[in-house]
Structure 1
């Protein structure tokens, strides 16, 4: 930050001091300047790792449900339509709680919300391993995802407010990389656990490997809640709600953990350059409205509409398929083994239809219930997660080019989506399907815009409402796709490609990074 220079024979008056950022008052710094003084070291790397685990835990809880549903298909006697309903419960939970989490994150604190949410999600997810019916499993996973969904907004706000501008966008994209690697983690875990062969009769249920898998997949939720104990609340949040002294204490702790001498920490007071400072009020419908209303009024209205449309595009095009991806892979490889030469991607899903039009449960045996998952399904899922993790990590190195990256990714995904069923070959169609799912690369970019384009008071709310838009899209899309993949596969893919292309057009109106940093 630069300041106007005064000649040596002139003394600046108090107005000059106010106008030049108040930094000339000893010990008083803007928040961004104070954050830069804390440096970049162990605290930041540790918090990044903790946030990485938080996102992994949330991703496994929400998207790992797909592999649990696939593994439990025989035990719970599921049809493909029921698989779609059960899988969509993850999104339903997020839809219900996105608004409250946004409010609580902005008024009670990022860390506080995350600790309670992840701890509660762990309990619900662990109990779901004992579900006697698919309806009970759906209810418990609804609760679990409703709680863990706090991570998707509060985590980005926490890490974004605790690292400097030089690495902020990069960290946002790296955090998104955690979401990309979660499929690899739960596919490998599923492969190892589902190879076990045991049956334990408990009160009202039969305990088989898929239940153990459910319990193990809940563990990251509890681990992430424990890791958060070490770290402090976002100092920017503290400053924003009038707890300036606490904000300085947290900044000083970051300064010390990063390897500096506590006695040399110069910051005595911080102020927010955006001028927002609000007290924490009592929860009420009016307080919720006061928190959300400014997002849909000028000057924030256009930003909100644009980012929410991009959120809608990327999540309906990606999550609608991602949540039932294990089932899609299972059907694909099962049908591919018996299909005629020259069968297209969508032909394989038509083959999964029985003669009466009902979708039969996947991996069922009449005489003995053995919940298994095709090995090729596991390897395909691992390849999906690992390749997306690497790709997103590479893209994070180009964090300063967010706008062109978004446009290019969406255009490539749209072309791939339109071509999936036109290659005349199932395997090449599967490869193009992978490319179509790269819309996930845009998730982190959108989240970073939520942090950069909105005042501190609204970041949690704008991100949580964004997740509500995302999951409403995904909830509707999942239930449509679960039926359409067998009956109208081509139409579903063409529609998805058209929506993604419209997103690429919308992305043209995003501000460039140069415009954001100069404003």
Structure 2
């Protein structure tokens, strides 16, 4: 029986079933493309900015302290994850995404015209407070627009595009940053240089994503949950037609939704309390603690070592080029970490090593391919998550114990494989939370994960010289704890929704 024939017989059904009955086609593929572009744009806005800071250091006359402040600026946006999650759960997924991507693009682009580091810092904090929420919002938006049969796979694909940001950022840096043009713009009091062009270009994906959202519709699941079933049916009809169906054959007449909220006149604080408190009370409390912790492990382990990746790679190449052998990873780092920037003969050089750029591109390709391969195992998401934790933990141990430089560097890269698990954890937020709390729960979890990432970046910098090996061994224990927690997720063989009482 075709989708249209089956659909024609439906007059009353649950919303999750209707998402399947509208047919899977061009609209859902467009949703995936838009979400992938936005996800990639958010990653470029956050992690690509570290390249911008390095390249702009001489032009903006940055010292080490100012570079550190600017590099941490993208993490400031996580403080606004809570209100964004609330807004998405009350005002709409698409509306929140459209606002966050549009304003995020505007301020990311404006930062390319900064005349000093204070202006760049202000633009980055404001822009990140909007754009950083987009990553968690697209998780919910994509998850609610895609049927359960393809949901996990699509979230894996979107996460792959997020990881591909390293390919994009380092690839653009390879071609743009070596350019030597210097065009003075007196009325802006700036000189156009390669780093400004690079900054503007990596902001473009956010703008493209915002444009694509104009051609998409609000999540029908959100509309039905809100109680606006008539609008939900209109959206479902448009999706059905977009996918190639005949509007005359669309016969869905009514939606049942067990989670429909009766809207009342109440203050924003009363509404905020209603959205938030249930996340930290039974029966959702256990799932909140569990999924928050798993996402913290995935994001923190990846983000911390990703932020340090260019520095560690340069230190590694310095050790290899000096002919050092039988030297562990930590020894190589400590040996080459003492550059004296206050020396009289120090020359400010904003160029980035080609070896670092090439290795960054290779890193992006590797994890993108691994994540796409993992998408084929989307139905085994718990197994994928546990496997990622085991590989990362083993890599931490080997980095601290091996004395062969190249092998140590390979395992240092593999520590970041926890990024593959983000798609798995994200899919559980969609499956295990009621519609009215999904966006807020996901945004809060990401806010906690980014805050711990910020702390982790500073922690690594503080102890890497004096306690490098101990750091990696401790991190292995931290990641292994996630394996124990992940075993309490619903079995891959069992379809479980809102199962919050059983481990």
The verdict on a shared fold, with TM-score over 0.5 as the criterion, is yes
Change (3 A) 1:188 1:327: same
Distance 2:403 2:359 in 1: 20
From 350, 365, 375, the counterpart of 2:334: 350
Distance 2:356 2:53 in 1: 14
From 107, 110, 117, the counterpart of 2:90: 107
Distance 2:264 2:296 in 1: 31
1:272-303 C-alpha deviation (Å, 9 max, x unpaired): 2x433343866622321211000111111100
The aligned residue for residue 199 of structure 1 is 182
1:502 aligns with 2:481: yes
Q: CA deviation at 1:510?
A: 1.1
Contact 1:81 1:482 in 2 (8 A): no
Q: CA deviation at 1:331?
A: 3.6
Secondary structure in 2 aligned to 1:516? coil
From 260, 271, 293, the counterpart of 1:287: 271
Q: CA deviation at 1:84?
A: 4.0
Q: CA deviation at 1:187?
A: 0.4
The aligned residue for residue 4 of structure 2 is none
From 218, 231, 241, the counterpart of 2:216: 231
Change (3 A) 1:331 1:340: closer
Distance 1:500 1:254 in 2: 42
Q: CA deviation at 1:258?
A: 0.9
The aligned residue for residue 469 of structure 2 is 490
From 129, 132, 153, the counterpart of 1:146: 129
The aligned residue for residue 40 of structure 1 is 24
Contact 1:29 1:269 in 2 (8 A): yes
Contact 2:8 2:252 in 1 (8 A): no
From 374, 379, 388, the counterpart of 2:358: 379
1:353-412 C-alpha deviation (Å, 9 max, x unpaired): 33xxx76499x9855x54211111111111111111110111111111111221121011
From 268, 276, 282, the counterpart of 2:253: 268
Q: CA deviation at 1:423?
A: 1.7
- The two structures, once aligned, show a CA RMSD in angstroms of 2.4
Distance 2:367 2:382 in 1: 19
Distance 1:361 1:421 in 2: 31
Q: CA deviation at 1:480?
A: 1.7
Structure 1 length normalisation: TM-score? 0.89
Q: Larger deviation: 503-512 or 82-91?
A: 82-91
The aligned residue for residue 211 of structure 1 is 196
The aligned residue for residue 408 of structure 2 is 429
Distance 1:226 1:24 in 2: 33
Distance 2:13 2:115 in 1: 58
Secondary structure in 2 aligned to 1:391? helix
The aligned residue for residue 157 of structure 2 is 174
Secondary structure in 1 aligned to 2:283? coil
Instruction: State the aligned residue count.
Output: 490
Contact 2:224 2:260 in 1 (8 A): no
Structure 2 length normalisation: TM-score? 0.92
* Unpaired stretches in structure 1, ≥5 consecutive residues: 1-22
Change (3 A) 1:279 1:134: same
Contact 1:65 1:323 in 2 (8 A): no
